[in-house]
Each structure stands twice: as C-alpha cells, then as structure tokens.
C-alpha cells in the first residue's frame, strides 16, 4: 500500500511540473502572438510615416526655431538652485552633468542672479557663459 501511495504522489508531482511547464509555454505563446499581431497589423505606409523626396523629417526639425524662455535666477540662489530652475524650464536635460561642469570650472559662486532669455537645448558651456557674465 505504501508503494502505491508513493507512486501516486510521484505521479502527481510529475503532473504538477508538467502542468507548470505547459502554462509557461502557453503564456509565452500568447505574448508572442499578441506582439507579432501588433507588429504586422500596423499600416506603415500611411502619409504620416512616409517621407517624400522633397522634404525629410530631419529638415522639418531643422527649420523649427529653438524656443526662447525667460528664466529668472533669484538673489541668493546657489548654483544647485539655478540648475533646478533650468531643469524646470527645460533649458537643460541633465542636471547632474550641468552641476559637474560648474564644479569643474569652479563657478559655484559665479552664477549671477537676474533675468535671462535662454534657448532650449543650449550648450552647457554657452549657458554658463551667459549666466556668469553681467549683462
């Protein structure tokens, strides 16, 4: 009787493992089928995505003027405060790189308070030049 119960337990354990393997394979199949359906069901030939010979998307971006933003650095603001203000105004994208550049150039005390008209995507060197020069 013990052998029989042992065999039944072994069979149930084997079926349990087999069941989990089948569930995992089924889940992967469903995920892959949804992904491939999404990939192949899109219409990539629409006018939004097609590029004519006369105008490429790169030239469209180049024609748009960079947007100018008025930024005020208040009196008593530290260089870290100024970096946060510039991040919030979308002038700089990487606060850490900007702060490191300030520290490398030893300009921690060199950022002057005032109102500045800045352009999105300005080079950090150029930006520091504007922020440390009296206008």
**Per-residue model confidence (pLDDT) at position 43:** 65
Selected residue with higher pLDDT from 126 and 48:
126
**pLDDT per residue as tens digits for the range 56-67:** 444 455 555 567
Q: What residue segments make up the domains of the chain, in order of their start?
A: 1-47, 60-132
Mean pLDDT rounded to a whole number for the chain = 81
**pLDDT per residue as tens digits for the range 15-38:** 888 899 999 999 999 988 888 877
CB 88 within 8 A of CB 120: no
The CATH number fitting domain 60-132, selected from 3.30.720.200, 3.90.650.10, 3.30.300.30, 3.30.1490.480: 3.30.1490.480
Calculate mean pLDDT across residues 1-18.
85
Buried b (16+ CB within 10 A) or exposed e, 31-58: eeeeeeeeeeeeeeeeeeeeeeeeeeee
Q: State the Cα angle at 125 between 120 and 129, rounded to 5°.
A: 90
**Of the ranges 24-28, 46-50, 92-96, 113-117, which one carries the lowest mean pLDDT score?**
46-50
3-state secondary structure of 44: coil
Q: How many Å is the Cα radius of gyration of the chain? A: 30
C-alpha torsion sign, points 93, 96, 97, 103: positive
Cα 5–chain centre separation: 58
**pLDDT per residue as tens digits for the range 52-93:** 455 544 445 555 556 788 999 999 999 999 999 999 888 888
């Amino acid at each position: 009787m013990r052998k029989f119960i042992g065999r039944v337990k072994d069979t149930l354990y084997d079926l349990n493992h087999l069941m989990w393997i089948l569930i995992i394979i089924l889940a992967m199949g469903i995920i892959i089928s949804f992904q491939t359906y999404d990939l192949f069901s899109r219409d990539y030939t629409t006018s939004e995505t097609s590029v004519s010979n006369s105008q490429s998307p790169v030239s469209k971006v180049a024609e748009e003027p960079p947007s100018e933003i008025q930024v005020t650095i208040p009196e008593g603001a530290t260089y870290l405060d100024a970096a946060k203000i510039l991040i919030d105004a979308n002038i700089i994208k990487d606060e850490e790189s900007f702060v490191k550049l300030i520290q490398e150039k030893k300009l921690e005390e060199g950022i002057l308070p005032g109102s500045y008209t800045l352009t999105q995507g300005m080079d950090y060197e150029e930006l520091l030049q504007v922020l440390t020069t009296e206008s």
